[in-house]
A and B are shown apart, each in its own frame.
Chain A
C-alpha cells in the first residue's frame, strides 16, 4: 500500500508543520486577537528572527533555537517601541483601523527591503547537527528538522497559554482585550499592559523565525506567503484563543501537506488563503470564537 504510506507521511508532516504554523501565528493571535492591532508585519518579524538566527549561526555556530531564545528580549523591545509609535500616532487619535493598517504595511515593506539590501535575495540556511537526520518509526519517517521545531512550537504555545491563564500580568492582558474601560476604572493603565502584550507578541517572532529557518531556507520576501497563513489561523482559531491557535495551525498544516503531496507544492499557499477567505466569509468568529 504505497498510497497509504504516502497519506500517513503527509498527515504526520502536516501535523509537524501545523505546530510550527501555530508558533508563527501566536503573535498575531495576541496582537490581532487580543489587542485589536492589525500587525500584518508580523510575518516579516518572523523572517527577521530567521536572519538573527542565521547571522549568529554562521558567525558563532550558535544553535538556531538557542539564538531564537537569546534574541527574544531584543524583539520584545522592538515590539514595545513599535506599539508605542502605533499608539501615539493612531490608536490615541482613533484612527487605528485604516491608517494603522497602512503603517504596518509600510513597516513590512521597509523591513523586507532592508533585509534584501543587506543580505540579498539568496536563500539562507542554518546548520545544526540534527538538521538532516531522520527518525524512522515503522513505515513513517520523520525528519528531525520538522520534529524539533514542532516540539519547540508546542512548548512555546503551552508556555504562552500558561502565562495568560496563570500569571497576574497575563490575566491583565486578557482583561484589556475584554474591557479596557473597566480596567482603567480599576486603576490600571491599559496602554502599559498592551505594551507588554505586544512586546510578547513580537518576542514570539524571534523563536518562530529560528524554527522557520530550521525547516527550510529563508529569503526576505518569504513573509508574504505567511500573511495569509497567520491570519487564517488566528481567525480560524477564534481570535486570541491560544489553544484555538494550535488546533487551527494543525488543521491548516495537514490540509496544506495533503494538497502539496497530492496536487503539488505550488498550490499549498493558495490553500491557506482559500481557507482564510472561506473562514472570513462564512464564519468570521472562527471555530472557537466567542
Chain B
C-alpha cells in the first residue's frame, strides 16, 4: 500500500467514524467500540516490540495502567484537558519503555519477558500503596458532562480512540516499511548476526521499546474518563497482557494488519460473549484461542491464508 492510499483510507475511516456519532445509535455500541479500538492500539503497540523485534512483553497491563494513572494524577491535581493527558501519558510510559529497552542489554529472550511481568507487579504494588490515586480502594473520576460537536462524552471518547488507533497503525506501518523495520526484523532473526553486520541494535531496540510503551500508555490515558472509576485490580488486569499478545498471535505478527485483524476478531467476540454468555467464559475463550493458535497456526491467520494460497 502506497503512502497516498494509506492516507486516503485514514481519512475515510475518520469520516465514517465521525458520521456514526451523528446517527444517534445506542450508546452501548460506543462503549463496545471503544474497547475494540483500545485493543487495536494495545495489540499494535505490543506487536512493534513483540512481532517486529521478537521481544515478548508480558507487562502491557503495567504500561496501560501507568498511562491511566498519569491521567488520574493530572485530572486530580490540575484538571488537565484530554490532549494534555494523552501527551503526558505517552511521555511517561515512553520513558518507562526506554528503561525497558536498556534492560534488553542484559536480558534476552525469556528473562526479558519475566522482567516485564515483574515490572507490572511492582507498578501495581506502588499504585496500591499510593493514597493520592486512591490506593487499593480506587478513585472515582467524574466525566465532563458533554463535549463540543458530540452528543455525549462517550461518543467523544470513541472518536478519540478511533484517532489513536489510526495513529498506532500509522506508526506501525511507518516502522515496518522504513529501514527501522528491516533492522528490527534482523534483530528478531538473529541479534548477534545483526550486530556484527553493523545494525545499530541497541538504538533500534530503544526505538521499539519506547514507541511500543508510549502507545500502550496513550491507550490508557482516556481510560479514567471511560470507566469513571480507577482501581489497581482492574487497570493492572492480566487480561490486557494476554489480549495484547493473543491478538497479534491470532492475526499474524509480521505485518501491521495482523494485530488489527486479531484485535477486531477477538475483541468483538469478547464483547459479544460478555453480553450473551458471561464475562468469565469469554476470557476462557481467549486463552483457548491463544493456545490453539500458537500450537496449530504459529503464523496466525495471515500465515494460514498465505499457506493456503501457496498450495
- Choice from A106, A225, A227, A280 contacting B111 with Cβ under 8 Å: A280
Instruction: Decide if B283 is an interface residue (CB 8 Å cutoff).
Output: yes
Q: Is B117 an interface residue (CB 8 A)?
A: yes
> In the complex, what residue of chain A is closest to B50 when comparing beta carbons?
A98
Bitwise interface map of A from 26 to 50 toward B, beta carbon under 8 Å scored 1, else 0: 0000000000001010000000000
Tell me whether A83 is interfacial, beta carbon within 8 Å.
Answer: no
- Kindly report which residue of chain B lies nearest to residue A96, judged by CB atoms: B110
Can you name the residue of chain B whose Cβ is closest to the Cβ of A36?
A: B110
Instruction: Tell whether, in the assembled complex, residue B125 and residue A109 are in contact, meaning their CB atoms are under 8 Å apart.
Output: no
Residues of chain B from 60 to 93 with CB closer than 8 A to chain A in the complex: none
The interface residues of chain A lying within 8 Å CB-to-CB of B136 are 266
CA distance A189 to B162 in the complex (A): 55
B281 near A105: Cβ-Cβ < 8 Å: no
Residues of A within 8 A of B242 (CB): 105-106, 109
Decide yes or no whether A113 CB sits under 8 A from chain B: yes
Q: Does B246 contact A (CB under 8 A)?
A: yes
Task: Determine whether the beta carbon of A117 is less than 8 Å from that of B284.
Answer: yes
Task: Tell me the count of chain A residues lying within 8 A, CB to CB, of chain B.
Answer: 38
Return the chain B residue nearest A269 by Cβ: B125
Contact partners of B58 in chain A: CB under 8 A = 105
CB distance from A30 to the nearest CB of B (A): 16
B106, B113, B287, B290: the one contacting A281 at CB < 8 Å is B106
Q: Is the CB of B287 within 8 A of A106?
A: yes
A101 and B109 alpha carbons, distance in the complex (Å): 10
Contact flags (1/0) for B213-249 with A, using CB distance below 8 Å? 0000000000000000000000000100010011001
What residue of chain B has the Cβ atom nearest to residue A116's Cβ?
B280
Does B25 have its Cβ within 8 Å of any Cβ on chain A?
no
Select the stretch in A131-139, A168-176, A270-278 that faces chain B: A270-278
List the B side residues contacting A225 at CB < 8 Å.
121
Provided the pairs A98-B56, A113-B280, A277-B122 are in contact, do residues A103 and B291 lie with their beta carbons within 8 angstroms? yes
Interface residue A102 (Cβ < 8 Å from any Cβ of B): yes
B283→A266 contact, CB < 8 A:
no
Most chain B CB within a 10 A radius of its CB, from A97, A113, A117, A277: A113
A110 to nearest B CB, angstroms?
4
Q: Which of A106, A266, A277 contacts B291 (CB 8 A)?
A: A106
Q: Is B259 in contact with chain A by the CB < 8 A criterion?
A: no
Distance in Å: Cβ of B306 to nearest Cβ of chain A: 18
What is the size, in residues, of chain B's interface with A at 8 Å between Cβ atoms? 39
Contacts of B117 in A (CB 8 A): 40, 227-228
B288: CB under 8 A from chain A?
Answer: yes
Contact in complex: A106, B122 (CB < 8 Å): no
A58 lies within 8 A of chain B by Cβ: no
- Pick from A97, A102, A113, A274: contact of B294, CB below 8 A: A102
In contact, B122 and A117 (Cβ under 8 angstroms): no
Q: Which of B122, B283, B287, B294 contacts A99 (CB 8 A)?
A: B294
The reply to whether the CB of A107 lies closer than 8 angstroms to some CB of chain B is: yes
A123 within 8 A of B: no
Q: Using Cβ atoms and an 8 Å threshold, which residues of chain B touch A188?
A: none
A277 & B125 in contact (Cβ 8 Å cutoff): no
Which residue of B is nearest A37, CB measured? B110
Q: Is B284 a contact of A280 with CB atoms below 8 Å?
A: no
- How near does chain B come to A81, taking the closest CB pair, in angstroms? 13
Nearest B residue to A234 via CB reads B114
B110 touches A38 (CB 8 A): yes
Q: Are the CB atoms of B121 and A97 closer together than 8 Å?
A: no
**B281 contacts which chain A residues (CB < 8 A)?**
117
Q: Considering the complex of A and B, which 7 residue pairs feature the smallest CB-CB distances, nearest first?
A: A270-B125, A106-B291, A110-B287, A273-B118, A109-B287, A106-B290, A89-B295
- Given known contacts A102-B294, A109-B242, A280-B106, what 9 new A-B pairs fall within 8 Å (CB)? A97-B110, A98-B54, A101-B110, A106-B287, A225-B121, A266-B129, A273-B121, A281-B107, A281-B115
A-to-B contact residues, CB < 8 Å: 38, 40, 85, 89, 95, 97-99, 101-103, 105-107, 109-110, 113-114, 116-117, 221, 224-225, 227-228, 231, 264, 266-267, 269-270, 273-274, 276-277, 280-281, 284
Task: Please name 10 pairs of A and B residues whose Cβ atoms are closer than 8 Å in the assembled complex, sorted by A.
Answer: A102-B290, A105-B290, A106-B242, A113-B284, A116-B280, A231-B118, A270-B122, A276-B115, A280-B111, A280-B114
